[in-house]
Amino acid sequence: MATDPMEEAVDTVTLKVFRYRPEKEEEPVYETFEVPYQKDWMVLDALNHVKDQLDGSLSYRWSCRMGVCGSCGMSVNGEPVLTCATYIEELLPGPIRVDPLRGFPVIRDLVGDLGDFMEKLTRVKPWILREEEESREAGATLQTPGQVEEYRQYSMCINCMLCYAACPIYELEPGFIGPAAIALAQRYNLDSRDDGAEERMEILSRKEGVWDCTLVGECSVVCPKDVDPAGAIQRYKVAATMDWFRSLLTPGRRG
């Protein structure tokens, strides 16, 4: 079987890595590392090589290496990706530029501060809300496969923040709740066990909720789990509009 001549020629790959160490630098800089090329390596493997063999001070997040935890999201050559699922082979000949995700304040190197997202996520109450709790004697609240399918797509979100980094609005409008939080709110709105849709609508029908979104759609393009947050936002806009019309027909129904 013929070997790719490009592959034969590659022994090392150049990583150009964003560095910010507040105790050393007033402004971020880029540092270049030469790492060995291996066909099955992901960008995360190359970063781990840098940390283990070249510079132990390099800071970044990672955990599962299986595209499940969402913690290794970074910008690679300008695109928000999971570094554990991005082959170096597809980025040859390099150099490969690695940055923190756009839109989040940088704490150190490739580590962004996600506190703003966590506060907004809590605001939309991404858990089941019940008007009345059923007694334990009543047993489990069962769902049909069809009811589960209603919200399954939105439940796949792993909070990787790629959608926030791709969203042109989040960086410009700090108040925007953002795509992942809205998709997770929709996950619970569509759950047959939940009674909190109207409560979440009070939050997300405001300007900084769904109406700040201009439907560029990049959030859905970069989502590694096909959650389609742009679709969730559009469904919410339709629901908010219908809710507004109902409030006109039934004065006093909503504020």
- What is the full DSSP assignment across 30-43? EEEEEEE--TT-BH
**Averaged pLDDT for residues 111-124:** 95
State the average pLDDT for the chain: 90
DSSP string for residues in 9-62: H-SEEEEEEEE--TTT-SS-EEEEEEEE--TT-BHHHHHHHIIIII-TT-----
> What whole-number distance in Å separates Cα of residue 224 and Cα of residue 102?
17
CA 103 from centroid of its chain's CA atoms: 12
> What whole-number distance in Å separates Cα of residue 50 and Cα of residue 106?
20
* 93-118 b/e (C-beta count within 10 Å ≥ 16 → b): ebbbbbbbbbbbebebbbbbebebbe
| pLDDT classification of 248: cutoffs 50, 70, 90 | low
pLDDT in tens, 26-77: 899 999 999 999 999 999 999 999 999 999 999 999 999 999 999 999 999 9
In the predicted structure, residue 253 carries a pLDDT above the cut 60: no
Place of tokens 């009543």: 138
pLDDT in tens, 81-101: 999 999 999 999 989 999 999
Tell me the domains of the chain and their CATH numbers.
5-112 (3.10.20.30), 115-249 (1.10.1060.10)
Contacting residues for 215 by C-beta, under 8 A, at least 6 apart: 230, 233, 234
In the predicted structure, residue 141 carries a pLDDT above the cut 90: no
More confident: 254 or 116? 116
More confident: 14 or 131? 14
Question: Quick check: helix, strand or coil at residue 76?
Answer: strand
> What whole-number distance in Å separates Cα of residue 150 and Cα of residue 21?
45
* Beta strands across the sheet bearing 73-76: 29-36, 12-19, 96-99, 73-76, 79-82
The secondary element (H helix, E strand) that includes residue 239 is: helix 229-249
By mean pLDDT, which of 101-110, 127-136, 188-197 is the weakest? 127-136
| pLDDT classification of 241: cutoffs 50, 70, 90 | confident
The full length of the chain comes to 255
